[in-house]
C-alpha cells in the first residue's frame, strides 16, 4: 500500500513526534501532509529496544487521519504504555520504531484465523483485547495458542473465544526502521 519512501516518511514522522513531545511536551504540528497520509486509518506504533518490546500503542479503528494516528500512537507508545516507564530523550536513540497500518476490522470465525495474516480483536462484555498479526509469529504460537493469548490479553479466560466472545480480524502493513534504514538516518522528508 505504501512505497518504501512513504514508509520512511511515516517512521520519521513517528520519531519526530516522539522527539518533539519529549523535548517540548507539545504535539507535533505539520504544515503539509502527503495526501496518502490524510485518510483515516487505524495504526499501531511499536517501540523496541535491543529486540525487546519497549512500548506499543495505537488505534484499531480509523479515528484520525493516518498521520495524526502515527503522531499520537508514537507519543503514547513512548510515554503512556502502562507496562513501561516513559522513554527518555537520551534513550530514544536506542529505540527502534515499527508501524502497523491496519485494514478495517471484520468479523471472523475462529477456524478461519490464519497465523501471520490476521490480527485479532476479541470482545466480551466490557473486556477487549487486541494482538497484531506479527505477535503470534514472533512467539511461535499456533492458531489455538494465539486465540488463548488474545483472550488473556483481554482479561478473559483462555477459552472465551469458544464462549460467546466476538472475534474480529484485520490485516496490517508492517514496516520498521530496522528493515528500512538505520535509526540514525530516519527523518520526515
pLDDT tens series, the chain, 189 aa = 899 999 999 999 999 999 999 999 888 888 888 999 999 999 999 999 998 999 999 999 999 999 999 999 999 999 999 999 999 999 999 999 999 999 999 999 999 999 999 999 999 999 999 999 999 999 999 999 999 999 999 999 999 999 999 999 999 999 999 776 543 343 443
Domains belonging to the chain, first-starting first, are 4-103+172-185 (3.30.700.20), 106-170 (3.30.1490.150)
Length of the chain: 189
If one counts every other C-beta atom within 10 angstroms of the C-beta of residue 139, the result is: 11
pTM greater than 0.85: yes
Amino acid at each position: 500500500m505504501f512505497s518504501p519512501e512513504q514508509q520512511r516518511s511515516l517512521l520519521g514522522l513517528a520519531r519526530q513526534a516522539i522527539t518533539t513531545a519529549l523535548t517540548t511536551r507539545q504535539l507535533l504540528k505539520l504544515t503539509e501532509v502527503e495526501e496518502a497520509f490524510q485518510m483515516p486509518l487505524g495504526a499501531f506504533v511499536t517501540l523496541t529496544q535491543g529486540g525487546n518490546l519497549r512500548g506499543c500503542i495505537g488505534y484499531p479503528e480509523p479515528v484520525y487521519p493516518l498521520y495524526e494516528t502515527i503522531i499520537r500512537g508514537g507519543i503514547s507508545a513512548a510515554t503512556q504504555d502502562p507496562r513501561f516507564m516513559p522513554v527518555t530523550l537520551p534513550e530514544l536513540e536506542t529505540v527502534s520504531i515499527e508501524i502497523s497500518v491496519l485494514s478495517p476490522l471484520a468479523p471472523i470465525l475462529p477456524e478461519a484465523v490464519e497465523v501471520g495474516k490476521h490480527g485479532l480483536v476479541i470482545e466480551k462484555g466490557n473486556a477487549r483485547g487486541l494482538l497484531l498479526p506479527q505477535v503470534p509469529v514472533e512467539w511461535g504460537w499456533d492458531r489455538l495458542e494465539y486465540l488463548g493469548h488474545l483472550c488473556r490479553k483481554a482479561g478473559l479466560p483462555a477459552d472465551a473465544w469458544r464462549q460467546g466472545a466476538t472475534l474480529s480480524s484485520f490485516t496490517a502493513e508492517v514496516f520498521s526502521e530496522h528493515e528500512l534504514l538505520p535509526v540514525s538516518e530516519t527523518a520526515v522528508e
